[in-house]
Chains A and B, each alone.
Chain A
Amino acid sequence: MLEIALKGSKKYWVWVIILLAAMAVGAGAYIDQFTHGLTITGMSRDVSWGFYIANFTYLVGVAAGGVMVAIPCYLHDYKKFHRITVLGEFLAIAALVMCLLFIVVDLGQPIRLFNVLLHPTPHSMLFWDMCVLNGYLFLNIIIGWNVLESERNQVPHPKWVTPLIYISIPFAIGIHTVTAYLYCGLPGREYWLSAILAPRFLASAFAAGPACLILLCYIVKKVSKFDPGWEAMQTLTKIICYALTTNVFFFLCEVFKAYYSNIPGDKSHFNYLFFGINGHNGMVPWMWTSIICMFIGIFLLIVPALRNNKTLLPFTCIIVIIGTWIDKSLGMISGGFVPSLLDHVTEYSPTGEELVVTLGVYATGLLVLTILYKLATTVKEEVRG
């Protein structure tokens, strides 16, 4: 089936070459990081995780969000999603590839990566995260590939794939839950130490994942002859609306807890994020942008006339993605680490090189996504043509 990816229009190849170029630039920056160490990043002793782990967290959410298509499709046999499920699965694969790359570029000693396998450590959440992320990646590769192959041959997918599909659903919830557990089991990190961190992550994921999927559907419709179907997208918008509202609700619960209880350690992180501490206010504009985006997103998704407006929808999705991205990546990292455990304020912002490495990782993910979507749409064109 892969041969399909080698046949494409001029535009397709231009896009692929742009991505390859971005990957090369990213790799160049990474080589510099590899030889000189993570000193080239904006991270510090106090803020020991940065942009890489932030994007990792967000993309785990995007990967998990695909399950919002899989559940209605496979569990409820919701017909309108049948055409786009494979797009959800392929989005998850691309997102997971980026997640794993972000982990690797964040390591101080990447060549020792396999120590995690040589010395399996069940009491470390990072060990479990690695297990579920890789598990979910392989499940999606197997499921997506087989479902698409069968669609091409116009036969139902093989029987043995069905149990894998069912397993993949708890796995999707699992990857994001365990990713939240990386953060929320750490004593002394008040911003993360919250029982609703995993639910909050899932809520934001179920908004972000489908929002990305809708955007991709618009692009697919534009560049190929395959139409994912307007009705499927309308259902997705409702899912985003519920999930986004839940995410904001959870966030407000956190705000209430911190300020009503008046516990200094709990308040300090929100103070830093939304008002700044002693003039350290690098995050303030970002966080308010995030909140405003999420509220605008909810408004645009609740009002039926706005939700069902075909030209407005992609912009709504972009607003939702910006809002949830800031909240879950930058906000989660800076909120957790600032002020520090010893109550010092060390701010974090990524360096240019860090951004270039990040760009390289995103380009890699987009290349994987492009190839997989090319396969999917071509097969679907063939079948319908």
Chain B
Amino acid sequence: MKKSRRNFLKAAGVTALSIGAAPAIKAVSAAESHTAPHAVEMKRKDALKAKRWGMVIDARKLNDEIADKVVKACRYAHNIPDFHHEPDKKKYPDLKPVKFNQEIKWIWEEEFEHAFPDKETDFLAEKFRGLSFLVTCNHCKHPPCVQACPTQATFKRPDGIVMMDYHRCIGCRFCMAACPFGSRSFNFRDPRPFIEKFNPDYPTRTRGVVEKCDFCAERLAKGELPACVEASEGVITVGDLENPDSEIRKLIDSNFTIKRKQELGTDPSVYYIM
């Protein structure tokens, strides 16, 4: 599924047209325009490119402190709401009570037996029981979320990154049922009151759409590494899985790695060094 900026804008335009008729509805959609201009694929010379992006997480080096930093870096980079944040009562006077099980997370800590539930009864697991792992979207080679999405709001780029178009998503949550890794979150409510510090380089979302890790495509396009990689003190490495000389291929070749739920055939692009 090839997505160019033009296609993307065209899609957004058609959507806007289809809902533009009723002024009342227009008012609602205007609330969504709090989004930074953001191209899906920007052609810049210094952009980081790969045939197929992949990630290696070195579980040996991971500790709670680093994990915490990683989660926070991703949270800030992508304006992800934190429901523990106390919203500004003056700016947002009538907010519904917070429900923590409706949280939003792109990358988070998960104990071994939850990150790898299929491996739980292995003897191998004893060693890892209770140990924290970082889990995020696997940018699967055969992503069930893309297959399920009725609007192509979730799509796979030629470089393997599975992306979301927040303007097209209808919020049916079929992709959440389809993703076998629980990588997706739904905006059950307007996230903005719960964003502590806004990052102007990334759009905020509206209520009613799904979101997930986008492999920092917006940063790669500017020649920057993903926010989590920068914060991870060497625990997380990204690179081109198809290039045998890439750093992550060397890590995979020289270490024992596992992937999550491999038996399902989605072929995750995230590897864990054990």
Chain A residue nearest to B186 (CB atoms) is A48
Binds B, one of A83-91, A186-194, A278-286, A294-302: A186-194
B123 to chain A minimum Cβ distance, whole angstroms, is 16
**B15-63: which have CB < 8 Å to A?**
15, 18-19, 25, 28-29
In the assembled complex, the Cα of A337 lies from the Cα of B177 at a distance in Å of: 8
Chain A residue nearest to B146 (CB atoms) is A123
A288 to chain B minimum Cβ distance, whole angstroms, is 26
The answer to whether residues A37 and B187 also contact, given A108-B207, A341-B181, A342-B110 and a CB cut-off of 8 A, is: yes
Which listed residue, A41, A43, A123, A341, touches B147 by the CB 8 Å rule?
A123
Residues of chain A within 8 A (CB-CB) of B105 are: 45
Contact A119 B19 (CB under 8 A): no
B92 to chain A minimum Cβ distance, whole angstroms, is 11
B212 to chain A minimum Cβ distance, whole angstroms, is 11
B171 contacts chain A at the CB level, 8 A cutoff: yes
Which listed residue, B101, B144, B189, touches A346 by the CB 8 Å rule?
B101
Contact A126 B172 (CB under 8 A): yes
Interface secondary structure of A, over-half rule: loop
Contact with A along B186-201 (1 / 0, CB 8 A): 1111100000000000
Residues of chain A within 8 A (CB-CB) of B121 are: 264
Binds B, one of A66-74, A110-118, A142-150, A246-254: A110-118
In the assembled complex, the Cα of A109 lies from the Cα of B264 at a distance in Å of: 31
B127 contacts chain A at the CB level, 8 A cutoff: no
Contacts across chains A and B counted by CB atoms under 8 Å = 164
In the assembled complex, the Cα of A187 lies from the Cα of B261 at a distance in Å of: 10
Contact B151 A116 (CB under 8 A): yes
Interface secondary structure of B, over-half rule: loop
Contact with A along B91-132 (1 / 0, CB 8 A): 000001001011111000010011101101100000000000
A350 to chain B minimum Cβ distance, whole angstroms, is 13
The answer to whether residues A48 and B177 also contact, given A116-B170, A126-B148, A130-B150 and a CB cut-off of 8 A, is: yes
**Interface size on A (CB < 8 Å)?**
49
A36 contacts chain B at the CB level, 8 A cutoff: yes
Residues of chain A within 8 A (CB-CB) of B158 are: none
From B149, B150, B178, B180, name the one whose CB has the most chain A CB atoms within 10 angstroms: B150
B163 contacts chain A at the CB level, 8 A cutoff: no
Residues of chain B within 8 A (CB-CB) of A187 are: 144, 178, 180, 264-266
A271 contacts chain B at the CB level, 8 A cutoff: no
Chain A residue nearest to B104 (CB atoms) is A45
Residues of chain B within 8 A (CB-CB) of A189 are: 177, 180
Residues of chain B whose beta carbon lies under 8 Å from any beta carbon of chain A: 11, 14-15, 18-19, 25, 28-29, 96, 99, 101-105, 110, 113-115, 117-118, 120-121, 135, 144, 147-153, 168-174, 176-182, 185-190, 206-210, 261, 264-266
Residues of chain A whose beta carbon lies under 8 Å from any beta carbon of chain B: 36-41, 43-46, 48-49, 103, 106-116, 118-119, 121, 123-127, 130, 182-183, 186-189, 264-265, 336-337, 340-344, 346
